[in-house]
Structure 1
């Protein structure tokens, strides 16, 4: 892992604006037993509102780190100055095509967003809710019947989130573990695993699109192969870019959110009991847990030279807007380190902000709320199993694993 000392600083970055912080390698970001990487990231609020970190991407590139929530909103609302075209996925293969619509800028972004919005609208999510709840109930009842402890990520969070995603793609559950492994290799693997996983996922999306062209069904990929933009069908590259985004976004983030939430409730029995006493509180509580335990950083690329809050950002510089930093901003949230499940007017940015706000946020919210409702309804008071310690980590997507819950 590169460090501040080994990474060259661009000539235009003043030495006093360089900060030794990284979402990948700073204290609490490496895999840590009983860690709290979101809280560890809040250390930046003791420093300047914007600084340059020489190693703050998965491939070891430097970024400007924007610490204030209001400044992050300015960046995320200004796609003309701060482009989202980064080719995060394609770069693992040495290529440069965008994930769609995440890595498109206006006006193309708006065209694809308008095409896809109805598929993940609140109305469509309501129609999916019965299936979401049935899946949660079936998994949790199986866990309850088989003993008094479980590895909640393996036994519940991933199978639950990935099943909903597979249903959306029109696929059965029989490859669930395989897909989880691909996502894990892509998001958390090494320089051999990442490109291999990327190629596997692309081949899978391409094959699925070819199959749906021949035999369409009522699913997302069939919709894509039959859809039109500007009165023309989508190209193979556009279908791939959209399919890849859905695959990557649908696999990891919701499962991680549920894991962080259950980890918190296992350690705070009074909050756990408070939600059990009145399950209608879960909707509000889920928003506070999204604020406290978001999992992604958004990175933008400057399209021109700009002076931003005293930072000499130059064309091509990366600008990091990490949700976990914005959501712990003391200028935005009173007592940001305190997790208050009754917090109102919660303007968190767990789903980003601006035109690229998460397309799947309505579905993700319902999955989290339903997952917590059914877990608390069906599993007695739970805690971290004695002698075990969940492992947390920072990085491109924050995560938690080996979360063994016990209710004996």
Structure 2
């Protein structure tokens, strides 16, 4: 897809040939490191315009400094979250809730959903999460001394947790994984088909739960009230679709990048194995080094921001992978230091929209690493194979074949 023309109000000297989708290191590459490739933006200006930096070929302003990203993400008066990313694939315009709502509606829905993903609630879910990790790893160990870690562990582990949250059986797992893959990484046609399928599924599940309540997330949503009124059909759909999208890929990708790093760094792998209490802080450093999400806002009004003439309707990119390699924020940002202190990373965003599922995501990653390291001996990337990493709206990794023979 050809990029859209650069708007007239963007000074030519502020345009830079950069894209999270197409720049060197972003396209699927064997042994690629898109996170390191992105770090090069810090050699240039703190804010610039990229003519092609979204799925649909739109340009964005790129905010490179973490402190400037925080300013954007905390200023909902100036920068809107409402993009209808999912609905636009269907030619529609409803928000995923609460991700694409602005205050005050955002706060109302966030307060409604927060208790379902609070640290207290995650503590209750933790035994089931650990049980799931153990079951998958035991199956891997029983079947040999190598595996495709994304297919055999990271994806089924994280997606099955989201399925149980929705109250759905594991036997649908492969179907949901395929939908998620088409939605997030397929071409326009696959994306549209997946989006329609997911919407129909969420609508059907909501209808079933209205008639047959259960102890699950969707029952909570269809029975919930906001300001004394039940949620509308579209609001239920917006919440359900967000849960689907959030559960489909991000945590699995993070876990994949973590295991790829450890497979290439045997000393650190052994250090964590021998001192498991260091896994939780190490996971924070891996979240800093390998975040997966580009956050985009839409300017609600004209603003001159750090010398950039941002105009109403312009897209503003706050990519977590750029903020997390900011040399003004982190000492030696391109060195992965699993004992790093003071780790104020941006993997879960900032401000009122900071990731609602961050507590659960953190525990999934830590538990996944704990159980993997306690059950799998020293592992490497299998000889004559190469993991394939890519950039984009969501960074990812596949073909990660680990071997411990």
Task: Place the TM-score, normalised by the shorter chain, in its bin.
Answer: over 0.9
Post-superposition CA distance 1:213-244 (Å, at most 9, x none): 00000000000000000100000000000000
Q: In the alignment, which of 248, 253, 274 is matched to residue 250 of structure 2?
A: 253
User: Cα distance, 1:87 vs. partner?
Assistant: 0.3
Structure 2 equivalent of residue 81 of structure 1? 78
Structure 2 equivalent of residue 374 of structure 1? 371
Q: How does 1:339-354 map to 2 (within 5 A)?
A: 339-354=336-351
The question of 1:337 aligning with 2:334 is answered: yes
User: Cα distance, 1:96 vs. partner?
Assistant: 0.8
Structure 2 equivalent of residue 104 of structure 1? 101
SS for the counterpart of 2:348 is coil
The question of 1:173 aligning with 2:170 is answered: yes
**TM-score, reference length from structure 2:** 0.99
Q: In the alignment, which of 9, 32, 50 is matched to residue 29 of structure 2?
A: 32
User: Cα distance, 1:345 vs. partner?
Assistant: 1.2
Task: State how far apart, in whole Å, the 2-side matches of 1:282 and 1:132 are.
Answer: 17
Q: How many residues are treated as equivalent by the alignment?
A: 405
Task: State how far apart, in whole Å, the 2-side matches of 1:11 and 1:159 are.
Answer: 47
Q: In the alignment, which of 139, 142, 151 is matched to residue 142 of structure 1?
A: 139
User: Cα distance, 1:9 vs. partner?
Assistant: 1.0
**TM-score, reference length from structure 1:** 0.99
SS for the counterpart of 2:271 is helix
The question of 1:219 aligning with 2:211 is answered: no
Task: State how far apart, in whole Å, the 2-side matches of 1:251 and 1:123 are.
Answer: 23
Task: State how far apart, in whole Å, the 2-side matches of 1:34 and 1:185 are.
Answer: 23
Task: State how far apart, in whole Å, the 2-side matches of 1:68 and 1:127 are.
Answer: 37
Gaps of 5+ in 2: none
SS for the counterpart of 2:366 is helix
Q: How does 1:284-295 map to 2 (within 5 A)?
A: 284-295=281-292
The question of 1:391 aligning with 2:371 is answered: no
Task: State how far apart, in whole Å, the 2-side matches of 1:191 and 1:258 are.
Answer: 27
Structure 2 equivalent of residue 301 of structure 1? 298
User: Cα distance, 1:2 vs. partner?
Assistant: 3.1
SS for the counterpart of 1:345 is coil
User: Cα distance, 1:303 vs. partner?
Assistant: 0.2
The question of 1:53 aligning with 2:46 is answered: no
Task: State how far apart, in whole Å, the 2-side matches of 1:199 and 1:251 are.
Answer: 16
Q: In the alignment, which of 256, 268, 292 is matched to residue 265 of structure 2?
A: 268
Gaps of 5+ in 1: none
Task: State how far apart, in whole Å, the 1-side matches of 2:234 and 2:22 are.
Answer: 34
Structure 2 equivalent of residue 129 of structure 1? 126
User: Cα distance, 1:277 vs. partner?
Assistant: 1.1
Indicate the RMSD between aligned Cα atoms, in angstroms.
0.6
Post-superposition CA distance 1:87-112 (Å, at most 9, x none): 00001111110000000000000000
Structure 1 equivalent of residue 225 of structure 2? 228
SS for the counterpart of 1:89 is helix
Q: In the alignment, which of 200, 204, 207 is matched to residue 203 of structure 1?
A: 200
Q: How does 1:145-160 map to 2 (within 5 A)?
A: 145-160=142-157
Task: State how far apart, in whole Å, the 2-side matches of 1:390 and 1:2 are.
Answer: 29
Task: State how far apart, in whole Å, the 1-side matches of 2:127 and 2:307 are.
Answer: 51
SS for the counterpart of 1:129 is helix
